[in-house]
Amino acid sequence: MTLPEACYNVAVRTRLERSYRFESAHFLPKVPPGHKCARMHGHSYLVEIIIEGEVDPDRGWVMDFAEIDEHVTPLVKRLDHQVLNEIDGLANPTSELLAVWLWDRIAGGLSPLVEVVVSETPTSRCSYRGPTR
């Protein structure tokens, strides 16, 4: 597969997004006394992994979605149906810290990673774009 002729002389940069779901329980040990999130509760998490890069002119893609899966699926399996507080590095599993935890484990092997989005509910999410440079 090759790029359309109009793309031959220009770099074509695209953004890929791959979504993963898992179910987990957690509690937030550092919230103020009486806060509802101090109690054990669960979420149906949605994690979106976003990469950006130049389209390979021969293959017509930035990368195979299966390559993203190789890096992310083992982590999702590790989180699914677990108490997040019991996982190393997630003693205080806020959405923000879960996004950083995922980033730290994905970025080294998936270098075009630009963003990790963690949604606890359909209306509550956190986006992390890596360490401040």
Supply the residues annotated as catalytic: 37, 81, 120
Specify the amino acid at residue 33.
P
Per-position DSSP letters for the chain, written without gaps between them:
----GGGTTS--EEEEEEEEEEEEEE--TTSPTT-GGGS-EEEEEEEEEEEEEEPPTTTSSSS-HHHHHHHHHHHHHHHTTEEGGGSTT-SS--HHHHHHHHHHHHTTT-TTEEEEEEEEETTEEEEE--S--
Q: How far apart are the first and last CA of the chain?
A: 37
